[in-house]
Amino acid sequence: MAAWVQYTAAGIEARAVVSGHCPSLRVDGTLLPMSVRAAPTAEHPNTVCAEMLPPGARSVRLDGSALPAPVRGLAKRIVVMGDTGCRLSSSHGLYQECNNDSLWPFARVAESVRAYGPDLILYTGDYIYRESPCPAGDNGCAGSPHGDNQATWEAEWFDPAAPVHEAAPLVLVRGNHETCSRAGTGWFRYLDARPEPGECLDSTDPWIVSLPRMQFGVMDVANVEDENGPLDLLFAAQLNLLDGELTRPAWIVAHRTFWGYGADDDTGELTTPTAELQDAVREAGLPRETQLLVGAHIHLAEVLDFGGGRPPQLVVANGGTQLVSRVAPLEEIDGVAIRDQEVLYQYGFVAMERMGAKRWSISFRDIEGRELERCDLVELRVRCSGRE
């Protein structure tokens, strides 16, 4: 059984994946029966159970084991991680060695996240990368499942992410690997922030996580175009919606970056996604409370400071999937100069540590949780390595 606590559009929810009937939670000593979120199917023969936690819950237990309680007071230690799956892709011609925890280190990263002791974990998307069968004779991935089914979700997420589930409540973001043509069925079955819709949806509305003194505005940017063309106007409308609902300093979280850079997976050439989000900002602007943009998608870790006119962009996509090759540092993106930056091509995660009312440290950590680099975020400015 896998079980975890996650923030949703309606509140904080405990979820569990079981092979039989839904169990009961014990919340602050009171039994709360879990309800069926998703019934068994041919591809997913498990049952997904869910139960909303009452406000102020302090203790959450399931079958005698503790689940992480919701954040109380200020969130002081937030882990950001993402792009953790093991890539098996015939379309890309890439077959990662899923059986080697040095070459697919997600389980080790998850252990280090638990050891760090976060108050909250922000997962930036792309859970499922095993899209094609392992080639015959390839011992690096021999025996691996693939496709959007229970076995793949267990191999990619539920089993290696168990330490993450035990460490802290989760904010889960949809990635482009969770589109309807890829692992979208599993996404809505297990992880989406709203009740299971009964069908895969191409796009969903943004939603907000509210904590003392801060908020997250979470956007679904798994798809950036439909049969009618780019979705920049849809994203502009969503930014306007968030602007009207965010009331305190906020991080805007979307799997694809507004302004990031790195190498393309296939060509190794420079890419600066995402044009549709950049056009949306030109149309609507960012919500006034925005302090930081958090994304993934480019398989590295970086933070870019543009000065006060554009919020910094944090990219955390180094949780386990195959990393991109290096490119020369950029001096500007989308017409705005990069004033400071830190770019790392190593597996790991980012630890955000609250240092004061308006200050966070950004700690880039490796597979074992050791700090590699540190930057400071103060309001809309990032400074790295002591540089002024």
In this prediction the pTM is: 0.98
* Residue pair 303/363 in contact by the 8 Å Cβ criterion: no
Q: pLDDT tens, position by position, for the chain (388 residues)?
A: 999 999 999 999 999 999 999 999 999 999 999 999 999 999 999 999 999 999 999 999 999 999 999 998 999 999 999 999 999 999 999 999 999 999 999 999 999 999 999 999 999 999 999 999 999 999 999 999 999 999 999 999 999 999 999 999 999 999 999 999 999 999 999 999 999 999 999 999 999 999 999 999 999 999 999 999 999 999 999 999 999 999 999 999 999 999 999 999 999 999 999 999 999 999 999 999 999 999 999 999 999 999 878 999 999 999 999 999 999 999 999 999 999 999 999 999 999 999 998 999 999 999 999 999 999 999 999 999 754 4
18-43 residues labelled b (16+ CB within 10 A) or e (exposed): beeebbebbbeeeebebeebbeeeee
DSSP 199: S
As a whole number of angstroms, the distance between CA 14 and CA 170 comes to: 10
As a whole number of angstroms, the distance between CA 371 and CA 52 comes to: 36
As a whole number of angstroms, the distance between CA 162 and CA 68 comes to: 12
